[in-house]
Structure 1
Amino acid sequence: MEPIRSLPQDQTSLARGVPDAQPGTMFVLSVGGGLTVDPGPHRTILFGRNRPEVHVCVGEDDPRVSRMHGSISYRGGQWWVAVTGRLPVRFPREQMLFGGEDPMPLASGYTPLFVQGSSGREHLLEVYVVGDSGTRPVLRPRDPTQPPRIWQLSPAEKLALTVVGQRYLLHDLHPLPLSWRQAADQLAELQPAEGWTAKRVEHLVSNVRTRMSRDGVPGLTREEVGEPVGNALNDNLFRVLLLTTTLVPADLDVLDD
């Protein structure tokens, strides 16, 4: 059997799993077609815009994609992605890999890679590496839905966070938290008798960050983020609060009241 084989023409996605294969086998797919590659030393597949010179064609109609944009190679028992093109490749969780940087390893299972193109376009390159646990995710249509972890907040904490993070709840394209002074002034208008100050707002938000950091949430301390900190700590905080639905857009109703 050939170590590199074309995928069927009717293969439209790898997200639902792949056919049975030995652990370490890699499947790669773009809109231009795909292939499967057995693990083995010195095994490399190339991807990019120039169809005759690569194994998997990506962004064939986009001149911002390099003719040979990158490669995926097997070494040390793992597949590694390298970028040789001018524009980066985006991994999940917004990780970016640029040309000239050290290759990044691929985890077992499904990984969508996005090749940066022109005018905001991103070209999808799907990769699936077969792990020891099998090739298909277990379907669980009747299992109970697992709710996110909603962090417990006091009424004062929730109100302060809603005000400081209102731009996140309003779906601003590039949201930033309000300053402590801006938030305190707005809170004082909402609750004139509650003694809102910039220091009190800062103290409440900092306590929530500390509590969540101690409970395992990353990116909420100066040591993790490094200097200069800027808005990074609160930006990370609000993204977690929204992702877990601890804060939701409906919480903004209190500002209208």
Structure 2
Amino acid sequence: MTPDPARAKYNQLRSLRHGPGEPQPGTLSALTISENIVLPPTPGAEASFGRNRLDVDLCVGEDDLRISRVHGVFTYQHGYWWLRNVGRLPIRVNTVLLHTGSEPLPLAVGYTTIFLRGNRQREHLLEVLVSDGEDRASQPRPSQMTVPPKRWRLTPEEHVTLTVMGQRYLAYDPHPMPLTRQQTAAELADLRPREAWTAKRVEHIVSRLRQRLSDAGVAGLRREEVGEPIGLTLTVNLIRELIQSTTLVPMDLEWLELPPDS
């Protein structure tokens, strides 16, 4: 592997900080349990990660034979860092599964967690930070007010639909799954018998909301971002975003216990 003067690599670095001063916007830092690399946003810049320390820029899962020797590649193109899977097993990016041969996934500005599932259910963590040009994380702020989560504004129709569809998540089911469109429509018809609820109506509500949040910058809500097979991935990602942002909370389940049309 030929050394790249534009690439900084640090062994045993336990932080994603770029160092003193403000990092260049778009700078990528990636951290494993043992190494860290920092790459400026240069068109065509590329860095690989995987099991074979001699063949990659960032070693991860060195003792785990389920991790490919070269498992993934970061590339900077068109103003974004893109992640491509070149290994045998999927890469989990936050809640999105990126499969081998899928279209590269753009990384959002900020912090992203990447997991590689290894032997005996081990998960190897790769932390990634794409800088926005401000070094806010380096300054301790113990007495500052906590920044509240960004809650999404939902219409009453969207709120009740996603509460019903995601009720198993809100009820802390250990293995939650979204209700299907048909199941959601059936429960909504019981809750609001004066309204016409169908699976097609539920689908339109969920699709419009997913599109709106995706346009606002939420990752994992478009088909091209998650790869095939799609399955329930888009719906799961939508529900998780709504719950993690506290747009939906467990108390919303109380609406489902009220008498119809109350």
Q: The TM-score by the shorter chain falls in which range?
A: 0.5 to 0.7
In structure 1, C-alpha distance between the alignment counterparts of 2:111 and 2:102, rounded to whole Å: 23
- Contact preservation (8 Å) 2:11, 2:34: no
What does residue 86 of structure 2 align with? 84
* Aligned length in residues: 232
If the length of structure 2 is used for normalisation, what is the TM-score?
A: 0.63
- Contact preservation (8 Å) 1:112, 1:127: yes
User: Structure 1 161/77 Cα, relative in aligned 2: closer, same or farther at 3 Å?
Assistant: closer
User: Structure 1 199/240 Cα, relative in aligned 2: closer, same or farther at 3 Å?
Assistant: farther
The gaps in structure 1 that reach 5 residues or longer are: 188-195
What does residue 18 of structure 2 align with? 18
- Contact preservation (8 Å) 1:32, 1:56: no
What does residue 96 of structure 1 align with? 97
In structure 2, C-alpha distance between the alignment counterparts of 1:249 and 1:142, rounded to whole Å: 28
User: Structure 1 146/128 Cα, relative in aligned 2: closer, same or farther at 3 Å?
Assistant: closer
Matched, 1:32 2:26: no
Which secondary structure does the structure 1 equivalent of 2:54 belong to?
helix
- Contact preservation (8 Å) 2:210, 2:238: no
What does residue 134 of structure 2 align with? 134
RMSD: 4.6
What does residue 75 of structure 2 align with? 73
What does residue 228 of structure 2 align with? none
- Contact preservation (8 Å) 2:81, 2:106: yes
What does residue 46 of structure 1 align with? 48
Shift of 1:125: 1.4
In structure 2, C-alpha distance between the alignment counterparts of 1:101 and 1:143, rounded to whole Å: 41
Which secondary structure does the structure 2 equivalent of 1:168 belong to?
helix
User: Structure 1 49/164 Cα, relative in aligned 2: closer, same or farther at 3 Å?
Assistant: closer
Letter in 2 for 1:51: R
- Contact preservation (8 Å) 1:49, 1:69: yes
Letter in 2 for 1:112: T
Matched, 1:122 2:123: yes
Which secondary structure does the structure 1 equivalent of 2:15 belong to?
coil
Residues 221-236 of structure 1 aligned to structure 2 (within 5 Å): none
Shift of 1:48: 0.5
Letter in 1 for 2:102: E
In structure 2, C-alpha distance between the alignment counterparts of 1:103 and 1:113, rounded to whole Å: 14
Shift of 1:57: 0.8
User: Structure 1 77/250 Cα, relative in aligned 2: closer, same or farther at 3 Å?
Assistant: closer
- Contact preservation (8 Å) 2:96, 2:233: no
In structure 2, C-alpha distance between the alignment counterparts of 1:52 and 1:38, rounded to whole Å: 22
In structure 2, C-alpha distance between the alignment counterparts of 1:40 and 1:97, rounded to whole Å: 24
In structure 2, C-alpha distance between the alignment counterparts of 1:112 and 1:124, rounded to whole Å: 7
Shift of 1:73: 3.2
Which secondary structure does the structure 2 equivalent of 1:60 belong to?
coil
User: Structure 1 25/163 Cα, relative in aligned 2: closer, same or farther at 3 Å?
Assistant: closer
Shift of 1:159: 7.9
What does residue 64 of structure 1 align with? 66
User: Which digits, 9 at most, give the CA deviation of each residue in 1:26-74, with x for residues without a partner?
Assistant: 3221012122234546543221011222221111222111011122234
- Contact preservation (8 Å) 2:164, 2:184: no
- Quick check: which has more Rg, 1 or 2? 1
- Contact preservation (8 Å) 1:150, 1:244: no
- Contact preservation (8 Å) 1:22, 1:130: yes
What does residue 112 of structure 1 align with? 113
What does residue 5 of structure 1 align with? 8
In structure 1, C-alpha distance between the alignment counterparts of 2:10 and 2:86, rounded to whole Å: 25
- Contact preservation (8 Å) 1:43, 1:73: yes
In structure 2, C-alpha distance between the alignment counterparts of 1:114 and 1:32, rounded to whole Å: 15
Percent of aligned pairs with the same residue?
Answer: 37
Residues 99-248 of structure 1 aligned to structure 2 (within 5 Å): 99-131=100-132, 133-137=133-137, 141-143=143-145, 145-146=147-148, 148-149=151-152, 151=154, 153=156, 165-172=166-173, 173-177=175-179, 178-181=183-186, 197=193, 209=205, 213=209, 216-217=212-213, 242-245=243-246, 247-248=248-249
Which secondary structure does the structure 2 equivalent of 1:7 belong to?
strand
